[in-house]
Structure 1
Amino acid sequence: MNTTDILSILCQMPSSILFKCPESASIYASKGFEQDFGISQSDSVGTHSFVFFDPETKDVIPPCNSPFTLAEKGEIVAQHFRLQTGLRTMNCFVESGVITTPAGMWVVLQVKTNVTALFSENKKSSAVSKHIAFNQLLTNFSSKLITASVHELDGIIDQALAAFGVFCDVDRCYLFEFSDDTECMSNTHEWVAAGVTPFIDELQNMPTSSLPFFMTHITDGMFKVDDVATLPDEAAAEKHIFDEERIFSILCVRIMVDDTMYGFIGCDIIGSPYVWNAFDIEYLRRIGEMLGNTLQSLHNRKALQKAQTELLEANKQLERLANIDGLTGIANRRLFDSTLLRDVKRCFEQGEALSLLLIDVDLFKQYNDAYGHVAGDAALQKIADTLTNSCAGNVDLVARYGGEEFAVILPNTRLDELHAIAARIIRNVKFLDIHHQASDYDNKLTVSIGMACLELSSPCKDAALQSSESALSLVQQADRALYRAKASGRNCAKL
């Protein structure tokens, strides 16, 4: 028996094997291997046509560590690889052996693919085991998705696609999302097997109108093609894209969220046609339903969060409107009263100083009578802005006290600082140059200011009891001081 006879026998083997002579570059495949990997004819091919990948890292196995090299060195190979031929890439378990024939030594690799494994056992028990394994896989990701936050979802989807891709031994697995108007679709998540080119970056904002045949089928729930070559003429656009990506078989199922088509999950086979099994369709559909339920839950959560945020914003707006003077945009009397009570209490608790200014626009009734209420409102707005700009403290509060009266609360402000602030306000109001010809005192609009100051040397234990009475007392002091300022000829500040 010569080399040709041995080669013929090994090539006719129904088992999926690769074999070669030691130190020879030629690798041969059995009929069983050709069937599994979609090779149409037996041929002697170079080693470059068979590429082994690490299924975990997806790195190419270097020639020095390839199964053939290890077997030729006498090492026993028994491990998982991702094997790529000129047509197909598949996960497989490789075991090595060396046989001796009259024509010499042969290194043999038995390549057990997932497909081979499925039919190597009792068909019924194998299918049941596969179904149980998939249910365990689905349960694992379902539990993760139930509690997933928006930020965690992308990572879990990537993990689910990878697990499904490895489990069903496909080349690519992906998730597409439609735009709100379904005019475009984008590849948002993609897993590819070792040796497979990813296309996620190229598949963004694709017009759905460019794939009418696909859209018709996916809208009905599923798009399944065992052999792209058999697509009808009306699917020419789809076939062109599939050919560019070397897709031979494709399976996609839609994902529904809130009774609307959200997108689809899909997988494909590269290099050779593949007849999609019933369990392939069922497994992909269940993954799609799981993602759809999760996305629905997140959609509901987002809607609830949005409603809660809008309610909080509405409440803040109502609170702001309740505390802000509508004309001037500064604090109103309600906010002034609550702020003064709070600041007085803190003054007693921490032994700090607290000052108060009551400000009255001089002869404002005469100004309104002479220039009208529109001009009067504009003057009050300008004075409010000036008061705000004249008080530089971050915790100061400028409020409209009532009518043409304003108030300024100045925490941590002592008497010497208070005089300077009051003088600055008087000067800045006069710099507004608001003409007031009806004034008996001046031809410009001016203000009078009453000052009051609460200065403590140390904290007080009964702060809560004293705060209300002290707040009223501080206002009364400022009000009496304001009266003295008016009696003194206006346009001045008194203590």
Structure 2
Amino acid sequence: MSKGFERDFGMMRAASVNANSFVFFDPETKAPIPLCNSPFTLAEKGETVAQHFRLQTDSRAMNCFVESGVVSTPQGDWVVLQIITNFTAMFNENNKNSAVSKHIAFNQLLTNFSSKLITASVNELDSIIDQALAALGAFCDVDRCYIFEFSDEAECMSNTHEWVAAGVTPFIDDLQNMPTNSLPFFKQHIFNGIFQVDNVETLPEEAAAEKTVFDEQRIFSILCVRIMVDDIIYGFIGCDIIGSPYSWSAFDIEYLRRIGEMLGNTLQSLHNRKALQKAQAELLEANKQLERLANIDGLTGIANRRLFDSTLLRNLERCNEQGLTLSLLLIDVDLFKQFNDAYGHIAGDAALQKIAETLTNSCLGSDDLVTRYGGEEFAVILPNTRLDELHAIASRIIRNVKFLDIQHKASDHDSKLTVSIGMACWDPCSPRRNSVS
């Protein structure tokens, strides 16, 4: 087994290597390539192969380009597959030129997503972050890229975005609301800015909890950098290598840090935008609440005289323009002073509250407005209600108030609390435009 083969594929025992040792995935859909369409099978059939794949061996996963060809020898023709991995390309190219080209490509990648994030709406942001993680993962040839967000007090952390390469198990659903203190070694390092592990096996004893988690997810190498928003740690961005150790280079750390800074700036802008929207919503709600308080009677919870006056004017204009009828009920609680004197003001307030509720339940129109006109007087505005309907509503109110069975022994009119109702109906289509009773 050659050193190059071992370096590229992480395989050292030639006897154990066969076509089944290589599993190919579509790098876009992440779906495994069926055996009948694998590069080995196609090459054996004589078909030309020239395609990008995600290749997974027992030791590692990587992006690669596979080409097929035929090599003629005195012993016969051989079908050959050339698998060009990132490792191969890295060692075959001039190191200086390769590093410069990669740096230029990364800057182009960063510029592209920076411009997208600047103009992104709140609804587009998650999708663009997912695209950025996918581009970073493919660019750096890692197996998993992700973002974690800390809770307000950094007591918990949750995986909010995740990209995984073909053939790699996603874990985002399992990594929600994780107690930060359950990974103390990681917490200590990430709060200082960076968590870098080239080989999980070299973690110290105090990182036993972290090693257990990494082993469960088959993580051999991990790199995370913190994300700051408003000078407070927001979370972190990270990437993993599955299956074999990897020595993170200075470029790897720089690329991840710059992506983290870009996302941090975006999240800070989003945070400020949400804070402004929240403040605006709270101000709007406060104004609505003030308006409600200004228009609502504090005792009964129904509309007050102020809202009655403005609503009546609006309805007069509307009904006149549209040729609709407009009716009005004026309601007075009979002998209410005597009731207060006999039972006390607390009982009087309770009685007014019950009457207000009964009036509301007795008027069923969606545009009807029940108001407390003042003291023990109530008024009801009933748009598009004819005189005959108005009589029926008034009778229903009188009956329902009596059904409340509020005792009024001080009344020489009735032993129960009752109401008297005046009615007015304005009909622009009737020869007799106004009716009062």
TM norm structure 2:
0.93
Query: Counterparts of 1:120 and 1:156 in 2: how far apart (Å)?
Result: 34
**Which residue type is aligned with residue 351 of structure 2?**
A
1:197 aligns with 2:159: no
Q: Which residue of 2 aligns with 1:81?
A: 53
Aligned equivalent of 1:153:
125
CA distance in 1, matches of 2:47, 2:350: 95
Could you tell which deviates more after superposition, 259-268 or 367-376?
367-376
Match of 1:410 in 2: 382
Aligned counterpart in structure 1 of residue 11 of structure 2, from 34, 39, 56 = 39
Equivalent position amino acid for 2:242 in 1: I
Q: Does 2:322 match 1:357?
A: no
Asked if 2 retains the 8 angstrom alpha-carbon contact of 1:255 and 1:262, the reply is: yes
C-alpha displacement of 1:197: 2.1
Change (3 A) 1:336 1:61: same
SS in structure 1 at match of 2:385: coil
Structure 1 residue runs without a partner (length 5+): 1-10, 12-29, 459-469, 479-494
Q: Which runs of 5+ in 2 are unaligned?
A: none
1:90 and 2:62 are equivalent in the alignment? yes
Shift of 1:144: 2.1
Deviations 1:19-54 (A, max 9, x none): xxxxxxxxxxx4322212233454452211112222
Q: Is the 8 A contact 2:327 2:423 kept in 1?
A: yes
TM-aligned CA deviation for residue 177 of structure 1: 1.9
Shift of 1:152: 2.5
Query: Quick one: which amino acid aligns to residue 57 of structure 1?
Result: T
Q: How far, CA to CA, are the matches of 1:264 and 1:32 in structure 2?
A: 35
Question: Shift of the alpha carbon at 1:68?
Answer: 2.8
Contact 1:357 1:451 (C-alpha < 8 Å) held by counterparts: yes
Pairing partner for 1:391 from 363, 366, 370: 363
Deviation by residue 1:314-370 (Cα, 9 ceiling, x = unmatched): 111111110111111111110000011011111110111111111122222222223
Q: 1:163-242 to 2 correspondence within 5 Å?
A: 163-242=135-214
Alpha-carbon distance, 1:64 to partner: 2.9
Counterpart Cα distance in 2 of 1:256 and 1:47: 47
Q: Which residue of 1 aligns with 2:282?
A: 310
CA deviations on 1:286-340 (whole Å, 9 max, x unpaired) are 1111111122122112211211111111111111110111111111110000011
Q: In 1, distance between residues paired with 2:146 and 2:50?
A: 31
3-state SS of 1:165 partner: helix
Q: 1:263 aligns with which of 235, 242, 257?
A: 235
Matches within 5 A, 1:112-127: 112-127=84-99
2:291 is the alignment partner of 1:328? no
Partner Cα separation in structure 1 for residue 407 and residue 33 of structure 2: 90
* More displaced stretch, 398-407 vs 200-209: 200-209
* Alignment partner of 1:63 is 2:35: yes
Matched, 1:433 2:405: yes
Distance in 1 (alpha carbons) for counterparts of 2:190 and 2:12: 32
Q: Identify the range of structure 1 (418-427 vs 278-287) with the bigger mean alpha-carbon deviation.
A: 418-427
Greater Rg, structure 1 or structure 2?
1
Partners of 1:246 and 1:439 in 2: CA distance: 87
The letter for the 2-side match of 1:238 is E
Matched, 1:132 2:104: yes
Q: CA separation in 2, counterparts of 1:91 and 1:39?
A: 17
Percent identity, aligned pairs only? 81
Please point out which of 406, 421, 431 is paired with 1:449: 421
Change (3 A) 1:454 1:199: same
- 2: CA distance, partners of 1:383 / 1:241: 66
For residues 416-437 of structure 1, give each alpha carbon's deviation from its aligned partner in whole angstroms, at most 9, with x where no partner exists: 1111222222222222232323
Name the SS for the 1:201 alignment partner: helix
Provide closer, same or farther for how the CA distance between residues 83 and 428 of structure 1 changes in structure 2, counting only shifts above 3 A: closer
Question: CA shift at 1:158, angstroms?
Answer: 1.6
Match of 2:246 in 1: 274
Query: Could you tell me how far apart the structure 2 residues matched to 1:94 and 1:310 are?
Result: 59
Indicate the SS of the match to 1:435: coil
Once the two structures are overlaid, the 10-residue window that deviates more, 392-401 or 137-146, is 137-146
Q: What letter corresponds to residue 100 of structure 1 in structure 2?
A: S
The answer for the alignment partner of 1:247 in structure 2 is: 219
Distance 1:396 1:372 in 2: 32
Structure 1 position 376 matched with structure 2 position 359: no
Indicate which of 232, 239, 261 corresponds to 1:289: 261
Higher mean C-alpha displacement, 260-269 vs 101-110: 101-110
Distance in 2, matches of 1:375 and 1:387, equals 18
Amino acid at match of 2:285: E
Kept after mapping to 1: 8 A contact 2:19/2:40 = no
Separation in structure 2 between the aligned mates of residue 433 and residue 70 of structure 1, nearest angstrom: 92
- The one-letter code matched in structure 2 to 1:348 is N
Paired with 1:239 and 1:431, the residues of 2 have a C-alpha distance of 74
- Relative to 1, partners in 2 of residues 1:325 and 1:244: Cα closer, same or farther, differing over 3 Å? closer
Contact 1:174-1:266 within 8 A present in 2 as well: yes
Alpha-carbon deviations, 1:133-186, whole Å to 9, x = none?
112211222222223333322222221111111011111111122222322222
Distance 1:61 1:363, change over 3 A: closer
Question: Please, which moves more after superposition, 206-215 or 314-323?
Answer: 206-215
Moved more, 296-305 or 332-341: 296-305
* Equivalent runs, 1:335-346 vs 2, <5 Å: 335-346=307-318
Taking the aligned partners of 1:165 and 1:149, their CA distance within structure 2 comes to 24
Could you say if the C-alpha distance between residues 328 and 60 of structure 1 is closer, same or farther in structure 2, counting changes exceeding 3 Å?
closer
CA-to-partner distance for each residue in 1:423-466, whole Å, 9 max, x for gaps?
222222222232323333333322222111101118xxxxxxxx
Instruction: Summarize the Cα distance change of 1:447–1:204 in structure 2 as closer, same or farther, 3 Å threshold.
Output: closer
Q: Distance in 1 between matches of 2:206 and 2:361?
A: 72
* 1:64 aligned partner, one-letter code: C
Assess, with a 3 A threshold, how the Cα gap between structure 1 residues 449 and 131 changes in structure 2: closer, same or farther.
same
